[in-house]
Structure 1
Amino acid sequence: MDLEDLSEEQRTVKLLRMNKGLITKQKVSSLPAKLINGGVAGLVGVTCVFPIDLAKTRLQNQRGSQRVYKNMMDCLIKTVRSEGYFGMYRGAAVNLTLVTPEKAIKLAANDFFRQRLSRGELKLSVFQEMLAGCGAGMCQVIVTTPMEMLKIQLQDAGRLVAQQRPMLHTVKLGTASPVLNCSYSVGPVSSTRKVSAIQITQELLRTKGIQGLYKGLGATLMRDIPFSVIYFPLFAHINQLGKTSEEDDVPFYWSFISGCVAGCTAAVAVSPCDVVKTRLQSLNKSANEDTYNGVLDCIRKIMRKEGPTAFLKGAGCRALVIAPLFGIAQVVYFIGVGEFLLGQTPFNLYSV
């Protein structure tokens, strides 16, 4: 229907809706705004959930016969007692440095592939959404693999020290006396050699070249591609349920809920791949821990020695990490922090 055929009131409403549509298109097509949104979301999210991520890494790496931590809370309590409060943030600097490009690539790549696959259509099919997520997952591993590699070395250092500590305090009292195994509370470990991400990077580049930083690339792809294939379509459909009409935006709280639900679901679904990736990327192991010669060898040894339940180690922690992380990411992304900072669109918390 032409504008001339409408009443003045109807014409005004339609023009407002058209303008709103133009603003939305401008917001979607702004790459600098996307990068800012992804970076801010990553920084806020990682800062909030990093201690839980540390617990997840340590739980995934411990073997059945050498258990140091019973569960997530036990891991966090022992970490604070032995390494201090900041021990829970071992490896956080790596994540905070690299999470900005990682989240920016992930979110921006997904939007890019969605736009390319839509070909002017208003709605994508589920298969097209899955393809867009697959493309985003493949792009992000450029940054994700080295970031995870360095983070895991720093996060797992405290577990290895805690695992060896009881052996250091084994004392023999005479020939007739039994061996007393005493694990003393010695406070923060002063004998632990502090290793930085820069030192690990330099050593890997010196000994193995650039491929040293990409150890576990196959396992990372095996985790991140299915994650993105599940997460992005699921988020899009759950988020769509929050719309009251085609013209209205989704309220920020619904984007948060959608991000949490989709992130939690995808995280649990790919948790076995995350266990394999964590084991492959752990360079420092104790004397009794297995080494692995690739993804298949890792899967075989875990299945044979620890059983199928080992593939779900840290699944609860991972869900607790990913759910708020992606909830926060989507809120920042959909609120439009980047657009607000660049002066492109109004800063709006609620749908209007």
Structure 2
Amino acid sequence: MSSNVSLLHETSRQVLAGGSAGLIEICLMHPLDVVKTRLQVQRSLMDPQSYKSLADCFRMIFRKEGIFGFYKGILPPFLAETPKRAVKFSSFEQYKKLLGYMSLSPELTFAIAGFGSGLTEAIVVNPFEVVKVGLQVNQNTFTEQPSTFAYARQIIKKEGLGLQGLNKGFTATLGRNGIFNMVYFGFYHNVKNVIPSSKDPTLEFLRKFGIGFISGTMGSVFNIPFDVAKSRIQGPQPVPGEIKYRSCLKTIVTVYQEEGILALYKGLLPKVMRLGPGGAVMLLAYEHAYEWLQKHW
């Protein structure tokens, strides 16, 4: 009985620490996520409505939609963030323990546990991602677009709860989150164990922040083709009423054939700008929150 209570207590700490870390990351980085999604869904620079560059995207959103345009779609991540990050970190810890019994090398254990946590996280987050992307690509002013709940009801009414509705883009989300977490956790924990810690608090913070920054950046570079596919599937189709982007791999092939290899890396700069420092912030916030909870709860 005591072991069950201990496991529940430990999982609760992981849930609270993970949720806190995720909320901090969202508040700081959401505008970059909006910009990333806008760049990923546009198909041609020849369209007069298209964004010519990262700076142009920031400028046009601010001019046409105001400062709140950068916070479109923020409610779904807020609602999902506690369960999402809780699943991300707690499932990583549980997969790591499970793999530990299999006598795998630490390097492989961290990577596989990260991949498993990403797949688990994707199951929780995908419906929220569908709603978020739909709100982010809406170019009306903040007050003119539907509310989060109204838009979710609209999707369910028209397309249902399945893979063509509130769970469309599910395989792309699995690929995106699985690959990101595999690189993110695998690199961070392996490198952190190699580079010696420092007794100086400032140097120790910089050590962890630097490793977390590189982890988030590498994860972003490796998983972005799946992220582009996810945005295309979950965003508006090129021809209304006609579904062009449906499955993950077919979408990746279509984008490559029609727009070239670089199209699969659209939105990489704002993604790295968000998930490089955001990944570092999230890992550090999780570790500090978890340590605090261990001491006080």
1:199 aligned to 2:150?
Answer: yes
Query: What is the alpha-carbon distance in structure 1 between the residues aligned to residue 112 and residue 241 of structure 2?
Result: 42
Which segments of 5 or more consecutive residues in structure 2 lack a partner in the other structure?
1-5
TM-score, scaled relative to structure 2: 0.86
Residue number in structure 2 paired with 1:32: 12
What is the identity, as a one-letter code, of the residue corresponding to 1:217?
A: F
Query: What is the alpha-carbon distance in structure 2 between the residues aligned to residue 30 and residue 269 of structure 1?
Result: 32
TM-score, scaled relative to structure 1: 0.73
Larger Rg: 1
Query: What is the alpha-carbon distance in structure 1 between the residues aligned to residue 281 and residue 38 of structure 2?
Result: 25
Mapping of 1:61-210 within 5 angstroms?
61-64=41-44, 65-66=46-47, 68-119=50-101, 124-158=105-139, 189=141, 193-210=144-161
Query: What is the alpha-carbon distance in structure 1 between the residues aligned to residue 193 and residue 109 of structure 2?
Result: 16
Partner of 1:243, secondary structure, is coil
Deviation at 1:238, TM superposition (A): 1.9
Whether contact under 8 Å (1:231, 1:263) holds in the other structure is: yes
Query: What is the alpha-carbon distance in structure 2 between the residues aligned to residue 195 and residue 346 of structure 1?
Result: 43
Whether contact under 8 Å (2:31, 2:70) holds in the other structure is: yes
Deviation at 1:207, TM superposition (A): 3.1
Mapping of 1:1-352 within 5 angstroms?
30-64=10-44, 65-66=46-47, 68-119=50-101, 124-158=105-139, 189=141, 193-211=144-162, 212-244=165-197, 251-283=204-236, 285=238, 291-335=244-288, 337-340=289-292, 342=293, 344-345=294-295
For structure 1, which segment, 101-110 or 66-75, has the greater mean C-alpha deviation from structure 2 after superposition?
66-75
Which segments of 5 or more consecutive residues in structure 1 lack a partner in the other structure?
1-25, 162-188, 348-352
Runs of 4+ deviating beyond 4 Å: 284-290
Whether contact under 8 Å (1:153, 1:284) holds in the other structure is: no
Query: What is the alpha-carbon distance in structure 2 between the residues aligned to residue 213 and residue 287 of structure 1?
Result: 18
Query: What is the percentage of aligned positions where both structures have the same residue?
Result: 29
**Deviation digits for residues 56-84 of structure 1 (CA, Å, limit 9, x no counterpart):** 00001111232621122211111111111
**Deviation digits for residues 156-180 of structure 1 (CA, Å, limit 9, x no counterpart):** 011xx6xxxxxxxxxxxxxxxxxxx
Whether contact under 8 Å (1:260, 1:327) holds in the other structure is: yes
Whether contact under 8 Å (1:253, 1:331) holds in the other structure is: no
Aligned length in residues = 284
Whether contact under 8 Å (1:43, 1:100) holds in the other structure is: yes
